[in-house]
Amino acid sequence: MEEARVELDELSGVPLFADLEPRSLAMLVREARVEAAPARTCLFKEGKKPEMLHVLLAGSVQLSAAFAREARETVIEVASAPDCFILAAVLTDTPYLMSATVLEPARLLLLPAAGFRRDIASNPDLSLILLASLACQSRRMVRQLKNLKLRSTVQRLGCFLLTLSKPAPDDTAVVTLPYDKQLIASQLGMTRESLSRALAVLRDFGVETRSGQVLLKDPVALAKHCGSDALIDEAERDLRFPKPH
């Protein structure tokens, strides 16, 4: 991976660092480095102890888990910049529960885990920020669990398309698929074949696939059929610890 200097201005847009004073931020990243990683780079494997906190500055990373006995692997989440992962393992010095692989070329800030934990112990402000970051990741996982347990494959796919859709002037919407269908299927807890069948069912609700893009002819009807719900589908990327009144 190609290494570069840490630029504090760039870090101000990362939720984990946004509320830190420049002096505190400079202290926190004094031993950090920025690296560029091409697609398909394996950042770490599940079961390994964390040596670094990975902060994603650009690109996307696939977080996956494997069932070795049956040679199965599934995508748990796709992290997009700006974000950090997997914070809980770094804070508790416990093995990763997921592996991380770069999906599209990424820039990563790497903070040594041991030094990061020492800084937390001596900086109460950083502790509060980390609480908010952990809360955001926890709530994101709960939303994913609700999506998997409460919805059918057809509903999961329909709501996934709605979250990616961009409105068009004629009350339709267009979706550009962010990655290949195999990865989308795995992220949504289904097989590639199940995804194809779900797309076929969704044609009755105005969903058409057109070479890498998906046209939603009637987003309102699709949302009604699939049970679009803010308590499952809404993204919360910038939670803050409330300040006392």
Ordered mean pLDDT values, 10 residues apiece, the chain (245 residues): 64 80 85 93 96 95 86 89 91 96 95 92 81 88 95 97 90 92 93 95 93 90 94 82 65
Using CB atoms within 10 A of its CB, is residue 101 exposed (0-12), middle (13-18) or buried (19+)?
A: middle
Answer yes or no: do 74 and 116 share one domain.
yes
Domain coverage including residue 43: 2-148
Residues 138 and 157 in one domain: no
Q: What's the pLDDT at 88?
A: 93
pLDDT at 218: 94
Same domain, 96 and 199: no
Q: Quick one: 170 and 118 in the same domain?
A: no
**94: DSSP letter:** -
Query: Which pLDDT value is given to residue 92?
Result: 94
CATH of the domain at 174: 1.10.10.10
Q: Are residues 201 and 121 in the same domain?
A: no
Domain match, 15 and 111 both: yes
β-bridge partners, 112: 52
Do 69 and 163 lie in one domain? The reply is: no
Domain boundary among the residues 148, 175, 208 is at 148
**Does residue 234 sit within a domain?**
no
Q: Per the structure, how many domains does the chain have? A: 2
Confidence at residue 121, expressed as pLDDT on a 0 to 100 scale: 86
d(CA 212, CA 131): 39
Q: Return the amino acid letter for 26.
A: A
* pLDDT score at 28: 86
Domain shared by 185 and 211, yes or no: yes
Determine the pLDDT at residue 35: 93
Residues 30 and 136 in one domain: yes
In the prediction, which pLDDT does 9 show? 74
Q: Can you give the pLDDT at residue 70?
A: 67
Q: Do 166 and 133 share a structural domain? A: no
